[in-house]
Structure formats: structure tokens, C-alpha cells
Chain A
Amino acid sequence: MVVVWSLCYGMCNFRWDECMAWTLHFQDGTLLVEGAALADLPSGFRWDERMRMPRGPAYMYGDIIYKALQLKIEYTDNASTWLPLDTPQGTERTPRQYQSEAVQAWINNKRRGVICLPTGSGKTFVAEMCITRTKRPTLVVAPTLDLVGQWYDRLKMVFQQEVGILGGGHHEILPLTVTTYDSAHLYLAKYGARFCCLIFDEVHHLPAPAYLEATKGSLAPFRLGLTATLEREDGRETLLEPLVGPVVYRKEITELSGNFLADYETERVMVKLTEQERCEYDAHRKAYTGFIERKNINMRGGWNQFIKVAARSKEGRAAFLGHRQAKMIAQSAVGKVEMVDRLLQRHRGQRMIIFTNDNMTAYQISSLFLIPCITHQTKIKERRQLISKFTDGSLPVLVTSRVLNEGVDLPSAEVAIVMSGTGTVREHVQRLGRILRPSEGKHAVLYELVAQDTAEEYTSRRRRRHDAYK
């Protein structure tokens, strides 16, 4: 007789038959099934001569349990190490209808799948409900340390227990733990047996090849992805389904705006370069475009080709540097800085976030107007202090490059100034999302500063291709 740990309910079952018993082991993100014949296991398992037993990716753990049950084979689970999670009874907050629908849709799909909801619509609360309903150790994976800090505070408060942090100088694994995608990539294979549920915040980051591979290293049968912007420029979001599940629920900004999100407007502000900037911009741009023409490089998807050709000659290097310099002039144009000064004056007393494309411009703005700057270099403790002071109004303006693009909860933010950015729709929608959390009488404004008659005009057109900007 073998004691079997049941996957879903944490109860002990007793099974026996004539087949050889299986023993499941977890090793470095893989699952070893001792005693099993390869033919009995799902495809994806291979015979490992080094250990003389079949080995497969850890994420197939659920399939193996179901297979053993189906074949009525005794098994001992030495792989998973989780126990039921203590969660407080219910939650004081009443979910909105779409939040309840989202959670139910996820549960109906065997607790796997992606929920797409706009920023500010309460995705974190949806995740909390999923944890409460599942009652299993959960690892939350978020893209930045700010979000890790935010999840940490939130989970600790809601579930009334200590929460572990993995990453950013912390290394504590508890039944509820929060980590970054980078740390998950490094450690999921090591701690993959500790969590029954994985929650991927801003799951559109997950399809990056290294991250996706890392999720295979976890036994967790329950998986939830959360995002406001699932679609990626490279189309790799389709790779999420086998590892997280399909989209089980979706609502767009336009469906919730006014009722569940703040009312908003966006304004594109064209800024002229100074004479000197124009002169320098044109010269740098000419070095770049002239080289492309002379070398007959097709730039439609040909950036890599440009880099390759440019690296071969001094003229090419000059073209590359020209491109970079021209971009910098447009991104941090004097006119933009002046416009920021005007907007600070116009919205004095309101909470504002200024977004730049690069750290250098962010620090320049910080030093000019003496406003705090958050970049990847800002330590987590200071970031949290700054965000807390922003929320209470003692530091009403923040400048940032990209780290506040996503997820960070800044409910009081009313005005966003996009000084510069990439051409991706996702980044622009996420930046807009920072000011959309609803509050009484709030009217949010997003200003997009664009250097006139520069390549930025094209970049701006590209990033505005979304319903939220129509």
C-alpha cells in the first residue's frame, strides 16, 4: 500500500494494483518518474541513461498525476513539497461583476489561463481571489522590483502572513512569495517544487525565450497570467497557451472607461527644435540616411542589416552614431524641457508622472526641476519611499524612464507627460494606464511631446494605433 498525496485537495488516497509503483522526484526543474516505462508517460519524457529512469519537464507534473490515476498505478510523490495554504476566510471587499466572472472563468479552465483587464481595473484583486479560492502556496512573478514591492505589501495585508521575496537582494521563500521574471528565470528550476500556483503579472513579458523556458521548471499545475496588453509586436503571446493556458477572460479600456476607470483625454504637443538643434539634428540624420541610401539598405525590418554593414567601415560607424545623436536631440529637445516647465506650472498641485525613453534625460529633468527620478538604478527601498510620498502628495511629481511603465499602483496620478518613448503600442497604452485608476471627479490627461519634423512623428503615429487613442 502506498500513500499518495492528492494533487488538488491535499487528502491522502490509498491505491494499489499489480503495476510497478512510480516514484516522482523533482530535480533542477525536471521530473523523474522512477519505475515508469517511457511508453506509459506523455510525450516530452525521455529516458535518462545517467539516472536510469524517465525524465520530463517539471510542468508536466499534473499530467503525470492524472496519467497515474488513469492507469491505476500506485505512485509516491517525492516531487512536490507544498502543503495547503492558510488563507483568511473570504475578503471584505466586494468584487465587481467582471472580476467575479474572470475568476470563475479561470477556475472553470482547471485553474489555468490568462485574464486580460485594463490597467486600474483591479487585476491584483482578481489574483487575490484566485489565491483565496485555490488555497495553495503561490509564487507571484512580476516584471519590476517596484511591482514586487507592491505585491509584497498587498499580499501581506490581505492574507495576514509574512510574504517571501526572491530578488532585489532578498532571498526568502515562503508559501506566498513574490519574485521578478529575472529571478524566476534563475531560481524557478530550484524552487519549482515549492509552489502549486504561479501567477504571472504583466504576463506579456513571459514569452521572452529565457522566461518561457524557465516556467517549464515548475511543477505548479495552477497558473494565472494577468495583463492589460497581451499582444506583442513579435506575436509570441501565442506561445503562452501550453504553459499558462488560453485567454479565459478579456475586457478593454473602452468597455470600462467612465464606470470603472477614470475619464481621460490625450493631447499630442508638437515641439520645434531650436535652430542649433535643427542644424545638428539634420547633420546627424544626414550621416545616417545618406549611408543607408549609398549602401542601398532596405530598412523595412533591416535594422540588423544596417548594424552589420555599419560595423564594417568608419563611415558606417559615423552613420550609427549619427542615428543615435539625432534621436537623443529629438528626445531631449530644449523645447520639450520648456514644455515640461509649462505643464508643471499648468498642473501645479496635481500628481504628475513624466516619462522619458532613456535614463540620461530622466536624470536631466530631475536635476533641472529638482524632482525625484526613478530608474532601474533606484534601490527598492528608495523607490517605495518615493512612491509613498507621491501618493500622500508630499512629492507630487515623479520622472521616470521605463520602470514605472507597467503595473505600479499610483492611484492618485492624474497627469502623464510622455517626453519620449518607443513606438510600441503596448508601452504607450501602459503609460496611459498609470493615470486611469478611478477616483471621485478625476479627469486624467496624457500629454505626448513630439519633436516636430523629426523621426519622432513616425514613432508617435506607430504607438497611437490603439482604440484608447481614437
Chain B
Amino acid sequence: MLTNDLLDVKIVGRVLEPKLLSLRSSLQLERAERLLILLRAHKEKTLGEVNASIQDITALEVKHKIWKGLAKILIDDSTFEPPILSNNPELSPAELREQVFVLSATRGLATQRADFGRQSKDMILSTIAESLNETVDDILSFLYADHKDMHRLIQLPKVATPVDVLYRYNLILCQSLLLYAESIHVVLHNPTAKWLEMLFRRIKFYRLLFRVWKRDDQVEILIDGPQSLLSQSSRYGLQFAMFLPVLPLFEGKWSLEAKLLWGKRTKVKKSMRLSHGTGLKSHYKLKGLWKSNTEEWFEQRYFEKDRGWVLTDGEVLYLGEQQVLIPNYKLTSTSTQHVAYLNIVGFWRKKQVLSLIDSAPDNVIFAISKRYAGATESLPERVLDRVILFAEVIPVKNVMEALLKIKY
């Protein structure tokens, strides 16, 4: 993330806009390239030396925020490791310090003056150097080698091209601004059930609260946390920031509006809007969006003939009190327009699956895997009309029968 002093933004009234870098700007590309070259030239050098070189080229730059921001992103993406003493690879800097300081104390501490009757720094260090078969310079440079500034650049950043550096900068700038958000409002156009499931899994993972509603073909989710109700607080900002890189992976239209608490001392409300048109690119990998074999086999068999029901992706069913059910499929009758849902349950325990069935609306039927059953005992009679047990393939015939038993 970028620190507060590196956040480059434009504020117009109540709107805060991140100053994203243009991917076509030769100036910005040149900056990114100069930093990449600088890092390549500093392989095996210390972080302190890398920072000093960056300082040399950026000290008098007016746009030092961008320079420093780009540099921070590249340094964060690189790997630095502490050096070792060649003849004493097992010795840690802390152990060396102990030897040096205790010896110095027993000799009355090092001095710069000959007339004080104490030994010079070099005299004390040479005693240690001799005992370790190292040079005085090596001892001195290893004394604080465990500190970050003394770590050496071992691996160059994974972001290897100037364009990718700018992409990463833009995403991290937006993420860093979300650290100041008190709530975010996300709109997704035509999200699939899989996408929503993945989003809600993340919301749950970050222990956030939400309200969700559907408007035409778009799903809107207002996300914040328990404390947001009571005070303006950006304590969920980190969760929002972690959440952001998922959105650019969405292939359809999306938007995010964040309410930010902006300002060092007096916090003023600002809003920031991002969307599919902002041009963000995520380096995250999409997980959990594949179609399972069970779904593929079911769809294959379902579409073999006209069933009188249109099968589409499922949608959000809001059950209240932070419970959302996103069934795999929605089924709409072509004759009556009745709507039902099919939810596939893999791993399950009797108690959990019963609670799920009880809290779901009556028009949701459940295909429950026998193979992944968490409890062997049978389900009670009262829910059996809404349950289709299956081994590998969901029997379409049983689904159609269950649809007829629902009271619409």
C-alpha cells in the first residue's frame, strides 16, 4: 500500500479522484523504466543504498509523490534479505553485537581521543575480527546487518515492464485510498451466481456486514462493518482495500462508490467512484468461478429437450440478518411464469442442511450429494419434497417432479 504522504489525488468539492497514471504517457513510462533500471543495477546492494540512489534522482523533483510511489511499489515487490559473514555464516548480527559491546564495555568503551586512556574503535574491533577470521570493515558493516536498511536486494520485482508498473501503481493507489473508506457501494451488472457466491464468501471472510438488493439486471451491495453504524470510522478500510482487486476481474460492467473520511485532523466526507471504465487491471487470480462437473452434467441433460421451464443462473435470495442464499439455478415456467430455484449442496451436515432448508423460501429445492454427506442418517420426512439426493449426476426427472410439488 502507499502511505498517506504518497497518495496523489484531485479533490473537486465532495468528489475525490485518484490521479491515475496514463499508460500512454511517455513521461510516466520513462519514470517507471528508470526505476526498473535502477533496481536492476542495484542487485546485491542494500536497501539503504537503493533508497539513497532513488533519493538522488528524485530529491528535487516536484512530482516526488509519483516517483516515491512508484519506487515504493517496486521495492515492496522485490525481495531483500540480510547478508551473512562469509567465514561465520552461522553468526547473527545480534550475536556479533553482543560480543562487540561487551568487549567494548570491559575495555571502558571506545573513544576517539588518545588522551583518555581508553581504546580506539578499531583496536576493539580488530580483536573481534581476528577471533572470527574476518576484517574490521566486515565486522563493522555486519554489526547492524539485520536492520532493513542493510538487507540486500536478492530478487528483482515481479512487475517487469514499465506498463505493468503503471498498472500496479494505479491499482495500489486506489486500494490505498480505500483504507480511508467507511463504506463501499458495489454495483454489478448481470453477475452470475458463481460471481456473487465468490463475492459473499469474501465479505464473510473479512467479517463485514452488508445489505444487498436487486434493481433490474444489477445487484447492489452496500458493505460496511458493525461499528460503521455508530461512528464515522475507516476501520474496515483494509478489508475494502483487499476486496478491490477482485472487481477488475469481473468481465461485465461494475462500479464501486466509496465514502471516504479524508483529511489529517478534521475528517471530511468525500466520495470516490471507480468502475470498469477506470482502467484498473488486477494481478489477482480468479478462484472458485469454475463450473463443477455436477453442474455441467446437469445442464447437458437438462438441455437435451424442452422441459417447459427456462433454466438460468441463480440470483441472490436475501434471507435477512446477514444471510444470503445464492442458488445455482433459477427455473422459470414458460406457461405459468412460476419461479423456482435449485441449490446444489456438496459437503453437508444434517443440522446445517436442515437449517438452510428451513430458512430458504418454499420455492427453493435442494440437490444434495449423497457422496459428500457429512452425516449418514436420513433427512426428516417433512423436507423430502424439497430434496433430491444424488450420487454423481443430478437426475433431471426428479428435479422436474420436485418443481411440480412446490406451492407457488
Residue numbers of A with Cβ under 8 A of B are 27-30, 44, 46, 48-52, 55-57, 189, 213, 216-217, 311-314, 316-318, 321, 337-338, 341, 344-345, 348, 363, 366-372, 377, 379, 382, 385, 389, 394-397
Pick 7 A–B contacts, CB within 8 A, sort by A.
Answer: A314-B61, A317-B64, A337-B112, A341-B113, A345-B116, A363-B144, A368-B112
Contact of A369 among B104, B210, B226 (CB under 8 A): B104
Partner of B111, one of A30, A318, A345, A366: A345
Q: Are A55 and B109 in contact (CB under 8 A)?
A: no
Asked if B109 contacts A369 (CB within 8 A), the reply is yes
With beta carbons under 8 angstroms apart, the residue of A312, A321, A394 that contacts B105 is A394
B139 to chain A, nearest CB (A): 11
Closest to B148 in A: A377
Residue B130 at the chain A interface, CB threshold 8 Å? no
Interface residue B34 (Cβ < 8 Å from any Cβ of A): no
Contact of B143 among A189, A313, A367, A396 (CB under 8 A): A367
Query: Within the assembled complex, what's the spacing in Å between the Cα atoms of A377 and B94?
Result: 12
Please measure, in the bound complex, the distance between the C-alpha atom of A50 and the C-alpha atom of B212, giving whole angstroms.
10
* Contact string against A for B residues 321-356, beta-carbon threshold 8 Å, 1 for contact and 0 otherwise: 110000000000000000000000000000000000
B62 touches A44 (CB 8 A): no
B125 lies within 8 A of chain A by Cβ: yes
Determine whether the beta carbon of B230 is less than 8 Å from that of A213: no
Determine if B15 is an interface residue (Cβ-Cβ < 8 Å).
no
Q: Is the CB of B101 within 8 A of A395?
A: yes
| B12 proximal to A (CB < 8 A) | no
The reply to whether A56 and B230 form a contact with Cβ atoms under 8 Å apart is yes
Tell me whether B121 and A369 are in contact (CB under 8 A): yes
CB closest chain-B residue, reference A58: B227
B147 within 8 A of A: yes
Given the complex, which residues of B lie within 8 Å of A27, measured CB to CB?
226
CA separation between A367 and B112, bound complex, in Å? Answer: 12
Q: In the complex, how many angstroms separate the beta carbon of A417 from the nearest chain B beta carbon?
A: 13
Q: Does B157 sit within 8 A of A, measured CB to CB? A: no
Q: Are A52 and B112 in contact (CB under 8 A)?
A: no
Interface residues of B (CB under 8 A from A): 59-62, 64-65, 94, 97-98, 100-105, 108-113, 116, 118, 121, 124-125, 140, 143-144, 147-148, 207, 209-211, 225-227, 229-231, 233, 235, 320-322
Q: How far is the CA of A90 from the CA of B154 in the complex (A)?
A: 57
**Can you list the 7 inter-chain pairs with the closest CB atoms, starting with the nearest?**
A370-B104, A28-B226, A370-B110, A30-B226, A372-B101, A317-B60, A369-B110
- Asked if residues B226 and A44 are in contact (CB atoms below 8 Å), the reply is no
Residues in A neighbouring B111, C-beta threshold 8 A: 341, 344-345, 369
**B61 touching A189, Cβ below 8 Å:** no
Least Cβ–Cβ distance between B123 and chain A, in angstroms: 10
CB contacts (< 8 Å) of A397 on chain B: these are 105, 109
Would A44 and B148 count as touching, CB distance under 8 A?
A: no
Closest to B64 in A: A317
Q: How many Å from the CB of B7 to the closest CB on chain A?
A: 13
CB distance from B93 to the nearest CB of A (A): 10
Q: Report the Cα distance A311→B62, complex, angstroms.
A: 6
How many whole Å from B61's CB to the nearest CB in chain A? 7
- CA–CA, A396 and B229, complex, Å: 54
Please give, as numbers and ranges, the residues of chain A lying within 8 Å of B235 by CB-CB distance: 189, 213
Task: Check A213/B108 contact, CB under 8 A, given A55-B226, A314-B62.
Answer: no
Residues of A within 8 A of B100 (CB): 370
Instruction: Please name all residues of chain A whose beta carbon is closer than 8 Å to the beta carbon of B124 when the two chains form the complex.
Output: 370
- What is the minimal beta-carbon distance from A207 to any residue of chain B, in angstroms? 13
Closest to B141 in A: A367
Chain A residue at minimum C-beta to C-beta distance from B118: A345
